[in-house]
């Protein structure tokens, strides 16, 4: 009986996971899902007793999140369970949201027919022109795109919506896009090579590297310093930055590197503050804000610094008080079930001291110290 009960529990777990995934579809498959949704709506409207049914959408709140602890792999990630929210045309509070879903689906259908790719920003301006009564902000468009993803169970990229990328890469990596010359990312200057927002192009790009580490850098300025100093010549590595909170394309790029070079450790260099840890956790576990696509880009990222044991390297006057926003982020992270104990200890220390430290504080040892700091951490294996 115990085995049977465990089997049922496992089946339910994997069933929940499957239902909360967003498929990657070919354009004609995505169009077919849109057509089926429209036909179902028309069938209801043409019935003898017409009634517009509610749209059942996967609940994208933290309370509906579940965790895969990586039993078969070393990657743990967040995914959404099968709790639903309802958007109704007959409810005054959700009527506009109901209509927005169909407006965005119509626009996506046209994009797919024309074999185009648009960013969410471009989609906003088109919707603003075509349906100003329903779309007044980028946030409304972003949320509606997630609603459409939840309704059709396919990725936004499958709908013709391209990721806007802020990401840069530099170091010991050669990238060759289909039909183009290979790019040497160590010869792109201190600005690095821009990561494209075209996920299909990223997926088909050939990658070659003799690096031994992949290092994610929170800040553009720190990335610029490390690349300008050509630290990748001393530490055989690839540097990647999303210039802050990671966009989809940069996360996809890191995930693609992790599958192409599975033996390379992925290390993260972030500020010692709650936002820095939140950025690391987004790369490591995914994010609820990504809805049904949250799980797809998770990687086994290790935290190299800054951490609490580095505070002795930083002058007291370089430590600054936590901001109110920092405290909110810390509270949210501490309530997360996925946060591992040593990360939780670091976060608790930040809250206890009420202080935060930025990577730039290490410049008190000289502008060339960052490379030495990273090398020491790697040699001593001080990453968690």
Place of tokens 């007291």: 316
The rounded distance, in Å, linking the Cα atoms of 330 and 369 is 29
The rounded distance, in Å, linking the Cα atoms of 36 and 58 is 19
> What DSSP assignment string belongs to 161-222?
EEPP---EEEES-EEE-TTS--EETTSS-TT-EEPPS-HHHHHT-EEE---SEEEEES-HHH
The rounded distance, in Å, linking the Cα atoms of 283 and 79 is 14
The rounded distance, in Å, linking the Cα atoms of 256 and 167 is 14
Marked catalytic residue, from 21, 77, 125, 373: 125
The rounded distance, in Å, linking the Cα atoms of 339 and 332 is 11
- How open is the CA angle 164-60-23, to the nearest 5 degrees? 60
Q: Is 318 helix (H, G, I), strand (E, B) or coil?
A: helix
Taking residue 162's Cβ as centre, other Cβ atoms within 10 Å add up to 23
68 phi, psi to nearest 5 deg: -100, 115
CA 281 to chain centre: 9
C-alpha torsion sign, points 349, 351, 352, 354: positive
By DSSP bridging, strand 55-58 and strand 65-68 are unpaired
The rounded distance, in Å, linking the Cα atoms of 143 and 151 is 12
Helices (H) and strands (E) in the chain, counts: 12, 17
Q: Are 205 and 176 in contact (CB under 8 A)?
A: yes
* Residue 157 falls in the annotated catalytic set: no
Across the strands, what pairs with 162? 119
The rounded distance, in Å, linking the Cα atoms of 349 and 355 is 9
Q: Are 350 and 299 in contact (CB under 8 A)?
A: no
Show which residues are catalytic.
125
């Amino acid at each position: 009986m115990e085995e049977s009960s465990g089997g049922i529990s496992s089946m339910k777990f994997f069933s929940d996971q499957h239902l909360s995934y967003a498929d990657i579809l070919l354009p004609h498959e995505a169009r077919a899902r849109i057509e089926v949704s429209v036909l179902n709506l028309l069938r209801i409207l043409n019935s003898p007793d017409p009634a517009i049914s509610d749209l059942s959408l996967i609940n994208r709140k933290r309370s509906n999140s579940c965790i895969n602890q990586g039993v078969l792999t070393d990657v743990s990630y967040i995914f959404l369970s099968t709790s639903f929210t309802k958007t109704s045309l007959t409810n005054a509070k959700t009527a506009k949201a109901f209509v927005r879903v169909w407006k965005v689906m119509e626009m996506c259908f046209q994009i797919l027919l024309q074999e185009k790719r648009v960013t969410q920003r471009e989609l906003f301006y088109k919707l603003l022109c075509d349906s100003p009564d329903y779309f007044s902000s980028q946030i409304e468009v972003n949320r509606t795109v997630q609603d459409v993803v939840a309704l059709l169970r396919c990725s936004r990229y499958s709908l013709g919506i391209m990721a806007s990328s802020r990401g840069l890469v530099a170091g010991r990596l050669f990238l060759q896009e289909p039909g183009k010359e290979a790019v040497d990312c160590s010869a792109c200057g201190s600005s690095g090579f821009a990561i494209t927002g075209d996920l299909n192009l990223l997926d088909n790009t050939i990658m070659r590297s003799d690096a031994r580490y992949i290092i994610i850098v929170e800040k553009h300025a720190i990335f610029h310093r490390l690349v300008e100093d050509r630290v990748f010549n001393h530490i055989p590595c690839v540097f990647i930055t999303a210039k802050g909170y990671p966009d989809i394309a940069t996360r996809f790029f890191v995930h693609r590197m992790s599958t192409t070079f599975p033996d390379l450790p992925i290390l993260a260099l972030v500020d010692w503050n709650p936002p820095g840890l939140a950025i690391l956790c987004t790369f490591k576990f995914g994010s609820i804000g990504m809805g049904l696509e949250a799980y797809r880009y998770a990687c086994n990222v290790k935290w190299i610094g800054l951490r609490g044991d580095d505070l002795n390297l930083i002058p007291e006057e370089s430590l600054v008080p936590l901001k109110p926003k920092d405290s909110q982020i810390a509270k949210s992270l501490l309530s997360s079930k996925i946060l591992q104990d040593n990360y939780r200890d670091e976060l608790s220390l930040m809250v206890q001291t009420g202080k935060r430290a930025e990577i730039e504080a290490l410049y008190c040892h000289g502008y060339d110290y960052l490379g030495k700091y990273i090398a020491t951490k790697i040699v001593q294996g001080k990453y968690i």
